[in-house]
Amino acid sequence: MSSAGKIDQQNIALYLWDDALPLDDYIIAEYEVTTNIQPQHAAVAMAMEQSVGTSKIQHYLDGIELSTFTIRVRDIEQLPEEVCSPVSAYSLVTAVYPQEARDQHTYAIRLAIPKKILMNKPVQFWNILVGELPRLGFLTRFRFKDIQLGDDFGPGPAFGIEGIRQLSGVQHGPLLCRSMRPALGLDTETMAALNQDTLVGGFHLVKDDELMLFENFEKFKVHVLAMLAARDRARAASNEKKLYIANLLCEPWELQERWDFCCEQGVDGVLIAPWIQGLGFLQYLAEQKKMFILAHNTFLEIFNRHPDWRVSDRVIFKCLRALGADMFVTPGNFGEANYQGEEFLSACRDSRETIKKPMLPILQGGKHPNGLSDYHRAVGCDDFMLIVASWIDEYPLGLARGAAAFRDALQISSTNNPK
């Protein structure tokens, strides 16, 4: 392989795949990048940047001793050119910046990542797999397309779809949930009444909104106890199982006390925001197998919405599942007539990952009875949950009657769209 500029100074063989290497010691990550340098140089530089950036130091270091720590370039494929608006390129005088420039082209690059530098830790995973790659000046477009995770990465969901169905008592058909709104400014007594009416009307769950805040533990405690009391009254009135999901979106120093309290008091599930709080939060809670976990999407779309600079839905939801999410929120336009969701749905329930239970998708955002057939069709089965608020809040005969009407429509739709 030819080389240029600073990259000449490195032991290039350390960053290229060798068929003699044990493949089981690596995971494969796939990227699509646009670059203004030779693709081999770009791929090797990516491997250097995210593993061993310096392999030789005169009198101190010979690269061969670092060979098991280096990311390896598995293969490179040129892709058809696309119309895009790439960011501007730049160059630095460092070992990973080849001193060259040429016309830009787009490539699929697959890197083999040594498992020993990931250590099955979520923070290290993202630090290695993405890290500073998007800031490399010779990459003008960056897409993290796919990842081949081993079964040993992450605990997987403790409950999954089957466990949530057992807790809810709903063995077939979608689940109905109202998110607590307005999330801010409402007194606790009114919140509890809204939840109780929704559950008695026929919904299966209620959940705290991600924006709800509690300035201290005492206020969190009062809120959770009130919501649990409303859930229990609804159970008695309806003679059905009902579930409550508490908001655990909090600071690191608040987590343990709030988590322990939810476990002690019989909260059914918790909502966390792994893209703000950290994916390590998710793994830490999932490994305890005490409550199901809803991995909320807040902040996520900064990573996946733009077509040219993104982490793919497939990578995102593979990671959520591996690290223990039982429920996840689908992209906003999922369920619309022209939306294709196979990329992430397959990651959430791929049967080849035998030790990982499937996650339950949550559809939210203006959901209404007339869209039920589209929601069934989009998911491909009835294993999903709907977040519904506006439709029942605005129902002319009141919230409880609105909840009952939506559930009636759901039962008809489930009959017409069997699992």
pLDDT single digits (tens) 251-272: 999 999 999 999 999 999 999 9
Contact criterion met (CB below 8 Å) for 208 and 247: yes
Q: Which run of H or E residues covers position 257?
A: helix 252-265
* Confidence band, pLDDT 50/70/90 cuts, at residue 157: very high
Segment 355-372, tens digit of pLDDT: 589 999 999 888 999 999
Residue with tokens 């769209």: 417
Give the pLDDT band of residue 351 (cuts 50, 70, 90).
low
Euclidean distance between CA atoms 348 and 334, whole angstroms: 14
SS3 41: helix
CB 16 within 8 A of CB 54: no
CB of 170 closer than 8 Å to CB of 122: no
Dihedral sign of CA atoms 374, 379, 381, 386 in order: negative
Record the pTM: 0.90
Q: Compute the distance between CA of residue 5 and CA of residue 28 in angstroms, rounded to an integer.
A: 28
Query: What burial class does residue 384 get, using C-beta atoms within 10 Å of its C-beta: 0-12 exposed, 13-18 middle, 19+ buried?
Result: buried
SS3 394: coil
What pLDDT is attached to residue 90? 76
Determine the Cα–Cα distance for residues 125 and 117; give it in Å rounded to an integer: 9
216, 266, 274, 276: which is closest to 246 by C-alpha? 266
How far, in Å, CA of 377 to CA of 416, rounded?
11
Q: What's the rounded mean pLDDT across residues 401-417?
A: 88
State both tokens at 145.
């397309």
The answer on pLDDT for 210 being more than 70 is yes
CA–chain centroid gap for 14, Å, is 33
Q: What's the pLDDT tens digit per position in 295-328?
A: 999 999 999 889 899 999 999 999 999 999 999 9
d(CA 50, CA 17): 16
Omega within 30 of 0 (cis) for the link into 122: no
Q: What stretches of 157-275 adopt beta strand conformation (E)? A: 175-179, 205-207, 243-247, 269-272
Question: Residues 335, 371: contact at Cβ < 8 Å?
Answer: yes
Domains detected in the chain? 5-148 (3.30.70.150), 160-416 (3.20.20.110)
How far apart CA 385 and CA 207 sit, in angstroms, is 12
Sign of CA pseudo-dihedral 202, 207, 208, 210:
negative
